[in-house]
């Protein structure tokens, strides 16, 4: 009877294909990154990431309004800090006059139902461009934790719903969780960059924030791209230290890691579809090698299929608009 088994019957029409579709990525599962810059009237395109901009707060407001209209309700914010405000220990990160902290107060007041995720790391504020304090060429882990804890509390006080430690210092989730609990921020979530790799695909992001290391690289704290099992160790540590979400970064080139974390944790798994991955897709589409409206949703659905519950992508708004058209909304 095997000759009567025809899998193509389940692909015969759009309606039938929809009936058995296994992956359903709704725009409310997407997080839109936004680069913020101090000032007014700013909308500066990132040359290495076409269609993505640095915004002053009032222009970011318009961008957020557009995203909300299209079904995206979560945003991760990154600060582009002037060099004059940077120092070796990132003290501006928790200073009351930090424009990033002022910005979230404004945005959270205007969009109280939106979810805002922060960036907890020294590199935007460090004169060395590293995620930790540098002394004699060494990244100091435990001294960095003290600064990260101050930064986290300042961000929670300012109104961030979820904090995103992206530094990859050992013990940072526990240190931040302790600091938040001590100050009464028991409901502030932690989205841990659990498996953050020392990747070649961060270039446009570093262009956007001018945050590349001034010397050396980040290989003593970010993970080796060759390693898979090591991610399980980071998972176990972040879970017991109090993380609420576990992130894999980058995403497209690490779908095996996304799948591993999904199978070994009950926490929500986040995939960061990073700037270089997005830039490659945009460049291929611009050159006519790929069709954006088929390649873009295929990419994001692939990440969801691999196990990502939440996807951070610079293409999130493009996907949301595409999704609405598909559903005649």
Beta-bridge mates of residue 197: 223
* Spatial distance between the Cα atoms of 267 and 309, rounded to a whole number of angstroms: 9
- 113 has catalytic annotation: no
Closest by CA to 243, choosing from 267, 270, 273, 272, is: 267
Coil/strand/helix, residue 61: helix
* Total residues found in the chain within this entry: 329
* Spatial distance between the Cα atoms of 168 and 237, rounded to a whole number of angstroms: 12
- 196 has catalytic annotation: yes
Distances (CA, A) of 133 to 25, 87, 125, 139: 39, 10, 11, 6
Q: Is position 234 annotated in a ligand binding site? A: yes
Contacts of 269 (CB under 8 A, 6+ apart): 245, 246, 247, 248, 258, 261, 262, 307, 308, 309, 310
Q: Which is the catalytic residue, given 29, 86, 249, 262?
A: 249
184: number of Cβ within 10 Å: 11
Q: Which is the catalytic residue, given 196, 218, 262, 321?
A: 196
Active-site residues: which are they?
A: 196, 249
Q: Residues forming the annotated binding site for Mg(2+)?
A: 234
């Amino acid at each position: 009877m095997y000759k009567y088994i025809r899998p193509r019957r389940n692909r015969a029409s759009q309606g039938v294909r929809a009936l058995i579709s296994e992956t359903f990525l709704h725009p409310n599962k997407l997080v839109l990154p936004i680069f913020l810059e101090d000032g007014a009237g700013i909308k500066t395109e990132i040359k290495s990431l076409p269609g993505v901009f640095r915004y002053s707060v009032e222009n970011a407001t318009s961008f957020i309004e557009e995203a909300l209209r299209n079904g995206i309700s979560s945003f991760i914010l990154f600060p582009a800090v002037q060099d004059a405000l940077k120092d070796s220990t990132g003290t501006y990160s928790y200073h009351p006059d930090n424009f990033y902290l002022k910005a979230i107060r404004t945005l959270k007041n205007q969009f109280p139902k939106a979810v805002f995720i922060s960036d907890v790391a020294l590199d935007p504020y460090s004169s060395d461009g590293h995620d930790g304090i540098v002394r004699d060429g060494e990244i100091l882990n435990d001294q960095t934790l003290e600064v990260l804890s101050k930064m986290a509390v300042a961000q929670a006080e300012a109104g961030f719903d979820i904090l995103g430690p992206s530094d990859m210092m050992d013990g940072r989730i526990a240190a931040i969780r302790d600091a938040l609990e001590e100050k009464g921020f028991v409901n502030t979530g932690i989205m841990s960059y659990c498996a953050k790799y020392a990747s070649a695909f961060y270039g446009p992001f570093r262009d956007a924030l001018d945050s590349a290391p001034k010397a050396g690289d980040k290989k003593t704290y970010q993970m080796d791209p060759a390693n898979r099992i090591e991610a399980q160790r980071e998972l176990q540590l972040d879970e017991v230290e109090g993380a609420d979400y576990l992130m894999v970064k980058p995403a497209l080139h690490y779908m095996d890691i996304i799948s591993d974390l999904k199978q070994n944790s009950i926490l929500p798994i986040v995939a960061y579809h990073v700037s270089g991955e997005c830039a490659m897709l945009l460049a291929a589409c611009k050159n006519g090698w790929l069709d954006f409206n088929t390649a873009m949703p295929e990419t994001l659905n692939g990440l969801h299929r691999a196990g990502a519950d939440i996807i951070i992508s610079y293409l999130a708004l493009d996907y949301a608009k595409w999704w609405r058209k598909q559903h005649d909304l």
